Amino acid sequence: MSEFDFHGLTASFEGQRVIGPLSLHVNKGEHVALVGKSGAGKSTLIKVIYERLQQEASLIPQGLGLVNALPVFHNVFIGQLDQHPTWYNTLTLLRPFSKDKKAVKALLDELSISEKLWIPAAALSGGQRQRVAIARALYRQAPILLADEPISALDGPMAHTAMQLLTGRFHTSIVALHDVDMALAYCDRIIGIQDGQIALDEPAANLVASDIASIY
């Protein structure tokens, strides 16, 4: 069953075409890895897809988009901001409800970072910030994940934990990954981007890492 079927996806900067035009059909339940060399267009393609999906998707942008002045709890809670009335969000800023504290802490426990619950995001390391952005995306509970290099700053075991959570909790995902081995391990479809076009589109089961090398 189709999750989405987009045609004519394009993006340009200062008149220079960097994506497409291309078509992308993704089935419900697919976990897609976007691979390709730096500058190929993976981040831009994720942004273009997000513009079309909006509320249906959880986004982990490469820049993470954390609010530095807010504690980790609030940065994760932001994932559900549009699911509550304004009065609820205002009260939460001052004094979070215990059910939300419990839910956010449980998620942070899974990413081994719950001890930072009340620490401002500004005081976190790069890998800790990435885990908070992952928790925010999971907390949103959207059906589709769009993630741009979500594990680039994580150590080996934590990178595996994060990929298990992301591919396990989201029905459908599109994740840009530099690590080809992680892409093959956790995704069932590999899309290679080269100069803003799809240069490879194969089930992961049909590929080994060296097959993907040609697009780098």
Ligand X SMILES: Nc1ncnc2c1ncn2[C@@H]1O[C@H](COP(=O)(O)OP(=O)(O)OP(=O)(O)O)[C@@H](O)[C@H]1O
Judged by CB under 6 A, which stretch of 40-48, 77-85, 158-166, 204-212 contacts ligand X?
A: 40-48
CB of 172 closer than 8 Å to CB of 26: yes
Q: With CB under 6 A as the contact rule, which of the stretches 2-10, 35-43, 52-60, 199-207 interacts with ligand X? A: 35-43
Specify the residue, 24 or 40, whose C-beta has the smaller distance to ligand X.
40
Name which of 35 and 121 has its Cβ closer to ligand X: 35
36 binds ligand X (CB under 6 A): yes
| CB 46, min distance to ligand X, A | 8
Interface residue with ligand X among 2, 38, 86, 206 (CB under 6 A) is: 38
Hey, what amino acid is at 203? Answer: P
Count the alpha carbons within 13 Å of 47 in the hemisphere toward its beta carbon: 13
Nearest to 139 by CA among 180, 82, 188: 82
Regarding 44 and contact with ligand X (CB under 6 A), the answer is yes
Pairing of strands 197-203, 189-194: antiparallel
Among 43, 58, 172, 173, binds ligand X (CB under 6 A): 43
Shortest reach from residue 156's CB to ligand X, in Å: 21
67 Cβ contact partners less than 8 Å away, ≥ 6 residues apart:
74, 75, 78, 121
Cα 64 from Cα 200, distance rounded (Å): 27
- Closer residue to ligand X (CB): 41 or 79: 41
Look at the alpha carbons of 170, 47, 181, 7 in this order and tell me if their dihedral is positive or negative.
positive
Among 20, 41, 79, 150, binds ligand X (CB under 6 A): 41
For the chain, the residue count is 216
Give the other-Cβ count within 10 Å of 157's Cβ. 9
Helices (H) and strands (E) in the chain, counts: 8, 8
Under rule CB under 6 A, residue 13 binds ligand X: yes
User: Taking the CB of residue 84, how many other CB atoms lie within 10 A of it?
Assistant: 15
Q: Which is nearer to ligand X, 108 or 147 (CB)?
A: 147
Nearer to ligand X, 43 or 130 (CB): 43
Query: Total residues at the site for ligand X (CB under 6 A)?
Result: 10
- Is 39 a residue that touches ligand X (CB under 6 A)? yes
Q: Does 42 bind ligand X (CB under 6 A)?
A: yes
Report the interface residues with ligand X, using CB under 6 A: 13, 18, 36, 38-44
